[in-house]
Structure 1
């Protein structure tokens, strides 16, 4: 049976045990009780700092951070998620940019049969691919390649078992990010949080962490808390903090 991981909000509702479909006017869903906040110095930054927060009686409380992460090789651009549309550079397929904005965090995935996490877990096989071919009707979906769908997956550069295909460990542990929820062709695909190559090695558009840091994040996150990723430049964080009811972080 094919295992599909769709990035649409509706599918994330299923995968995340009832995550709400609509965001509040502040961009953060009321039901979201955990936040991963990533702040970059500028839209061209290849690195950033990650903080985690939990909601306590409607107020955000600090949990951990800062933790260094790597971003896309060309920085950040506005993605499609829970936040209102923003003026500025918009994320496109192949641009090397990580998405800025607010996004649900979906299932965990990885190479092992099990993973220590409060998220639902999807073990990947050698035949799992995330489709990054804009013309494919399977664009921005993760599924098992079969004889029946091979034509629609051919050309994708995102095998989910990189350890078997590309001989690296980046996807041995990761989290699906709900970017481009309606799979709009060319708007960016296959966005994850995953293990970094190194502290000075950017990604193709994901957010990457040291393996020990992603282990801690995976163990802390819980599917029934409807966790979100908020990823912004420091300037946009300052501009949007009050409107989006974001937690206070001291920004030097």
Structure 2
């Protein structure tokens, strides 16, 4: 991920993509009292050593029903924000936050909390995934300018106009803008800050590593093989969720959120 990430809607990409992301986020709103993972049957759990750690372990879990136990189906190492993590805006209740910073634009931290996932995106016309997919072209940008009315959205300059994307440092075809950069060749949106609150952080993705060990500006980066497995596994019908937390916070919230044993 390049600068600071942000959720992608091709809001101004076809209506289907917008509807798909809104549906995923809306479906992800069980009552907080019942826990933010209440309806989820797929869980992407990223655990780090502490708030300032720039890397961690990603665990994949699934279950057959909302009241069944979680079953681990994979794990691998990932990089996150170069400065670690901070509380983001997602599906968890504000009162769940205890300690740690709050995510801000350009802080180099990945958002912590519970988030909906999707759509997927990439350089190719399609991908092997059940998630809605957005094919990126040279005219697509994710808006990281807090005072833009398009903040925290993926837009097409051919539709919104070149002036509307002025100032964005987040082209979605990094390979064309940054000498073959592979990071956005395949990825998916982490739905942080779905109401596009200015300055709260934008364009948060899971994407490919540029090189091993390189932290991000706030996204979660992984090897291509791990991304391919994740995309092939994710199923919108299973209401997949991402949880990113330092291990101490995961232990504190494990019972309230219904996290699997590894977090306890």
TM-score, normalized by length of structure 2? 0.87
Q: Secondary structure at the match of 1:163?
A: helix
Matched, 1:38 2:13: no
Matched, 1:155 2:167: yes
Tell me the distance in 2 between the aligned counterparts of 1:11 and 1:115.
16
Q: Where do residues 219-230 of structure 1 align in structure 2 (5 Å cutoff)?
A: 219-230=232-243
2:89 aligns to what?
80
Matched, 1:176 2:189: yes
Q: Cα offset for 1:54?
A: 0.9
Matched, 1:213 2:221: no
Confirm or deny: 8 A CA contact 1:13 1:21 kept in the other structure: no
Matched, 1:56 2:64: yes
Q: Given the alignment, which residue of 195, 200, 207 partners 1:194?
A: 207
Give deviations 1:126-152, integer Å, cap 9, x for gaps. Answer: 111000000101000001013743222
Matched, 1:12 2:21: yes
1:235 aligns to what?
248
Q: Cα offset for 1:62?
A: 2.3
Q: Cα offset for 1:22?
A: 3.8
Tell me the distance in 2 between the aligned counterparts of 1:23 and 1:178.
18
Confirm or deny: 8 A CA contact 1:41 1:234 kept in the other structure: yes
Tell me the distance in 2 between the aligned counterparts of 1:138 and 1:97.
22
Q: Cα offset for 1:156?
A: 0.6
Q: Cα offset for 1:225?
A: 1.3
Q: Cα offset for 1:165?
A: 1.0
Confirm or deny: 8 A CA contact 2:41 2:239 kept in the other structure: yes
Q: Which has the higher strand share?
A: 1
1:3 aligns to what?
13
1:110 aligns to what?
122
Q: Secondary structure at the match of 1:30?
A: coil
Q: Which has the higher helix share?
A: 2
Q: Where do residues 61-72 of structure 1 align in structure 2 (5 Å cutoff)?
A: 61-72=70-81
Confirm or deny: 8 A CA contact 1:23 1:83 kept in the other structure: no
Gaps in structure 2 of 5+ consecutive residues: 1-9
Gaps in structure 1 of 5+ consecutive residues: none
Tell me the distance in 2 between the aligned counterparts of 1:48 and 1:196.
14
Q: Cα offset for 1:32?
A: 1.8
Q: Cα offset for 1:21?
A: 3.7
Tell me the distance in 2 between the aligned counterparts of 1:126 and 1:244.
40
